[in-house]
Structure 1
Amino acid sequence: MRLKINCELLSNKIPADYRRKVVSVMKAGLSRANEAKYKEMYSGNKQKNFTFSVYLPKPIFNGGVIKLSQNQIVINFATADAELGINYYNALMNVRGKQLPFSEMNKIRVQNIQIMQEEAIISERIAFKTLSPIVCRDHNKETKKDWFYWWEEEAFERVLKRNLYFQLREKFGEYVKADIEALQFRKVAIKKTVVICYNLHVACSLGKFEIIGQPYLLNHFVQGGIGSMRGMGFGMIEVI
């Protein structure tokens, strides 16, 4: 399920760490619409099987503040889990029209929510572009520390494929490992970017690329995102 959420802001200035503010809007709606699902999703370190991106109109970055050309943003939401998508649709409908805190300097109001049409991928070779940057995170369980790789680094593909296997083995079974290992990632125009998220500076990849692989995996990446931290607004892609 893919949603387009048009939002109005009280001011045209938002914090650079705006993704966490979008998450707070989703959490506010979900806690009101379905408390049980809210607790399931946000109690503990549950994997978030959705992604989102935020369209910012002509942003000007100035330290910790972003100035927009309009008092509006568009949130694009996607998930491969239809039941989860319905829950987040209901959550956003629950807060539609209500003015919610967005930062110390701003408030946000969800204006409308559209369910977007999706076309199934049948080809084994597809070109994509990122709507939100792809995060490749290597988490050390012993030190509790993270290391982030971008596309050009040697460990990027190995760590990305390992993370994809851990994310998808429950849904698709153990056989998915061979299909993930067979994936081929080909750069078209990729650049490194560093994003602030929860006060953390995250190195990630942004741009255009190709993936060669099984269509069911390519469909899943479009529907639910690719990489780590998808539930915090990373890894959303679309076909070009």
Structure 2
Amino acid sequence: MQTPNTTIKMKGGGEVRFGVEIFLEKEMLPKDKNRIILSIIKNCFSSCNKEYYKALYKDTPNQTKDFTFSLYLGDCKFLREEILVPSKKIYLNFSTYHNEDGIMFFNSMLMNKGKAFSIRDNTYTIGKINLKREKLITEHQVIFKTMSPIVAREHQGDNKKTWYHSLNTEEGQAVFLENLQYQLKDAFGEGILMDSRKLSIEVSQDNKEVKVKNYGIEILSNLAKIRIQGAPYILDYLYKAGIGSKRGSGFGMVDIV
């Protein structure tokens, strides 16, 4: 039986995912739900290791995160401004490419298990934490299904104006592929350019457009199955770190079909 002082030590690279139960005091959840969960994650990181938190969010606040998360709300109902969650429970899924992030997430959640966080007229309490095995990728082609919406984001011009594209369009798929190539370059450096340029994607025809509220802005995104062809180590990275933009804010988490 684990105690609040228990820690995890992971061997190898990204062997597990995590699942965390979060209990709500009230059954109404704001639509800007990712913001609330990210606030809880940040609070847990900070309480567990202030230097790690500072390096991740303060020293270089806009740095790309190689982790992602998704939320499962059970039998919920989306209202105009809120989400009705009768079970008063959120299941948080977390995945990362780096052992350090995985260790920090698990240990920080365990340290704060049973703690109540009061955020925006509700209280959130961390419950059970589970470790989940990831799937091994050895082929040059994988079909991913989204666990949280995928964002294809375009920056343009000196003032970095931002557009969000749907994967239902050829332009959106082209932007999404560019996002993947930029993500890989940021993670692995210039040496990956040749392999990243060989990537190809195929989006399922039954994909669904969704608008997700994030920090007060409605972001166009997609829930879909996506076939990606590329080197196995690249597919493994995308599986663990998430795909597309805004992964550190709870977008782009995928599983393997």
2:118 to 83, 96, 101: 101
1:145 paired with 2:155, answer no
Correspondence list, 1:1-240, <5 A: 1-43=16-58, 44-104=61-121, 106-140=122-156, 142-188=158-204, 189-240=206-257
The answer to whether the 8 A contact 1:161-1:181 is kept is: no
CA distance in 2, matches of 1:145, 1:40: 27
Unaligned runs of 5+ in 1: none
The answer to whether the 8 A contact 2:184-2:196 is kept is: no
The answer to whether the 8 A contact 1:14-1:103 is kept is: no
From the superposition, tell whether residues 157 and 180 of structure 1 become closer, same or farther in structure 2 (CA, over 3 Å): farther
2:166 is aligned with what amino acid? W
TM-score with structure 1 setting the length: 0.94
Structure 1 stretch 189-198 or stretch 163-172: which is displaced more? 163-172
1:15 deviates by: 0.3
Structure 1 stretch 138-147 or stretch 44-53: which is displaced more? 138-147
1:170 deviates by: 4.5
SS at match of 2:148: coil
| C-alpha distance after superposition, 1:157-203 (max 9, x if no partner) | 33223322332225433242222222221122311111100001100
1:29 is aligned with what amino acid? C
The answer to whether the 8 A contact 1:79-1:224 is kept is: yes
Unaligned runs of 5+ in 2: 1-15
The answer to whether the 8 A contact 1:16-1:64 is kept is: yes
How many positions carry a matched residue from both structures? 239
Q: CA RMSD in A?
A: 1.5
CA distance in 1, matches of 2:178, 2:135: 28
From the superposition, tell whether residues 60 and 157 of structure 1 become closer, same or farther in structure 2 (CA, over 3 Å): same
Structure 1 stretch 229-238 or stretch 181-190: which is displaced more? 181-190
TM-score with structure 2 setting the length: 0.88
CA distance in 1, matches of 2:229, 2:182: 20
CA distance in 1, matches of 2:88, 2:51: 34
